[in-house]
Amino acid sequence: MRERQSSDLRQTHWLGMAGLSRNVGFAANKVFAANLLQVILPAPFLIGLILGLEGFFGLVLNPLTGYWSDRTRRPWLRRKVYVMVCLPIAAVAWWTFCSVHHVLFAVVALAVFYAFEQASLSPYQAWMPEITPLERRGIVSGYLNFWWQIGNLLSFLVIPILWETNHSIAYLLTGALIAAGGLLTGLLVIERPERAVREKPSLRSYRPLLFGNLRHFFLFQCLSWIAFEAIASFFTLFTVKDLHGTVLDSGLIMSVFTAVVVVVSLLSGALYRRMAPKWLLVVAALGFGILGLIGYSVQTVSQAFLLVGVAGVFWSLNMTVSYAFVADLLRRAVSDDRAANQLSGGLYGMSNVVQSVALLLAAPIVGAFIRLLGGDYRAMFATSAVASFVAALVILAVTAPRVTERVEEDIADVI
């Protein structure tokens, strides 16, 4: 038994490597992409449009690759191929983007990077339930999130420090990490043929995700991600141009944000059991929006550290509560635990689509406002605040049971 548990734990850690590598790419894009583009394309609106390609490819590719992957019966072509092929190609594209100085080549390379990063996501997320027993999925999810956050910290902290010494080595290391994680997961994590689909899924089975409380929730999620991406997409340029800081300062600030998110997630999980999740999300959205308004008054890098650190509290509350709440809403929508479990893959796809919509909209909108305001990057804070306040109103439309009823139904087994 111990040998089997040890083997399962190794599989979990190897599975986490692809998530780590993908998050290295995701975070490196936040730190470096806008700053590199403004060197060869000094137009905030156009930079915003280009950064929005990440959302466009996610919107198109996440549901497609997830659907194709679910319908594939051959194990090596079901999940493995998406991390073993897509992530190394994304790594080469990232290094190319960082190395070329021609606008067209740089934009094409960045677009290829976005496309293959997004194409790997849904099949990768669907892999874990297929190799993990139901009773261990909570523990495994914790390990995986640990590795994913390590990926963020590498790009927010370690790579920017290296970048201060040698730009080329920093870009090369980023690409190497992206490729290595995909290859390690693909080569070392099993795909069990007996877990492959026996029947092709019906698109009609996903209809509950589009109506009622879930519709309001996903709109809330989209607005929340717009609020986040409005700041994240241009934060490096804001730090460098408005605060007269450095790229390293930007990476350090984002590292503080990530560390706060990790720590507060434990408290947020405990609050979910004691308070109505809808109102926790209202608090999270309002808090993030208020900090967006305060962002207009930030004048120094030190103030930015403080602001972003506090923002991490509300963002962690949002993400942690949302992850549990959406599963609760799905179960109530279909009124059957087994049916809800069968639709869990659809939740991954829908969440990725919603995030992609936010990526697609946020950067171009903020870029346009920056242009209208004569290059003032503080426009990103106004966009974030508006999206957050609207999100708080939207989540109020969700009808959910009182916390006492929820505790009686959902926590009885734990007590």
The whole-number average pLDDT for the span 328-347 is 64
Q: How far apart are CA 180 and CA 31, in angstroms?
A: 21
Task: Reply yes or no on whether the pLDDT at 114 is more than 90.
Answer: yes
Contact, 247 vs 240, CB < 8 A?
Answer: yes
Mark out the alpha helices in 154-188 (DSSP H runs). 159-165, 167-188
Domain end among 145, 166, 196: 196
- Answer yes or no: do 326 and 263 share one domain: yes
Task: Give the model's pLDDT for residue 116.
Answer: 95
Task: Give the model's pLDDT for residue 316.
Answer: 83
The string of DSSP codes covering 238-283 is: IIIIIS---HHHHHHHHHHHHHHHHHHHHHHHHHHTTS-HHHHHHH
Where does the pLDDT of residue 199 fall: very low under 50, low under 70, confident under 90, or very high at 90 and above?
low
Q: Which residues of 362-380 are buried (b: 16+ CB within 10 A; e: fewer)?
A: bbbbbbbbbbeeeebbbbb
Quote the tokens at residue 195.
């877990």
- Answer yes or no: do 168 and 249 share one domain: no
Q: Is 244 left (phi over 0), alpha (psi -120 to 50) or beta?
A: left
The string of DSSP codes covering 297-358 is: G--SHHHHHHHHHHHHHHHHHHHHHHHHHHHHHHHHHHT-HHHHHHTHHHHHHHHHHHHHHH
Place of tokens 């019966």: 73
205-212, Cβ contacts within 8 angstroms, sequence gap of 24 or more: 205/342, 205/343, 205/346, 206/343, 206/346, 206/350, 208/330, 208/333, 208/334, 208/343, 209/330, 209/343, 209/346, 209/347, 209/350, 211/333, 212/333
- Answer yes or no: do 220 and 140 share one domain: no
Q: Is 376 left (phi over 0), alpha (psi -120 to 50) or beta?
A: beta
Please report, for residues 45, 66, 134, the alpha-carbon distance to residue 372 in angstroms, rounded to integers and kept in the order given. Answer: 9, 39, 52
- Answer yes or no: do 177 and 301 share one domain: no
Please report, for residues 73, 75, 130, 196, 201, the alpha-carbon distance to residue 193 in angstroms, rounded to integers and kept in the order given. Answer: 8, 6, 10, 5, 17
- Answer yes or no: do 176 and 309 share one domain: no
Task: Reply yes or no on whether the pLDDT at 255 is more than 60.
Answer: yes
pLDDT 10s digits, 10-66:
888 899 899 999 999 988 998 889 888 888 887 777 888 888 888 788 888 888 887
**What domain range is 396 assigned to?**
205-415
CATH number at residue 266: 1.20.1250.20
- Answer yes or no: do 340 and 235 share one domain: yes
CA angle 41, 44, 46 (to 5 degrees): 65
- Answer yes or no: do 339 and 221 share one domain: yes
Task: Reply yes or no on whether the pLDDT at 327 is more than 90.
Answer: no
Give the range among 7-21, 229-243, 262-276, 306-320 with minimum mean pLDDT: 262-276
Domain total of the chain: 2
Task: Reply yes or no on whether the pLDDT at 288 is more than 80.
Answer: yes
- Answer yes or no: do 9 and 111 share one domain: yes
Where does the pLDDT of residue 6 fall: very low under 50, low under 70, confident under 90, or very high at 90 and above?
low
Where does the pLDDT of residue 387 fall: very low under 50, low under 70, confident under 90, or very high at 90 and above?
very high
- Answer yes or no: do 11 and 150 share one domain: yes
- Answer yes or no: do 192 and 210 share one domain: no
The whole-number average pLDDT for the span 105-115 is 95
Please choose, from the candidates 196, 200, 178, 180, the residue with its C-alpha nearest in 3D space to the C-alpha of residue 188. Answer: 180
- Answer yes or no: do 34 and 106 share one domain: yes
Q: How far apart are CA 64 and CA 144, in angstroms?
A: 24
CA angle 386, 390, 393 (to 5 degrees): 150
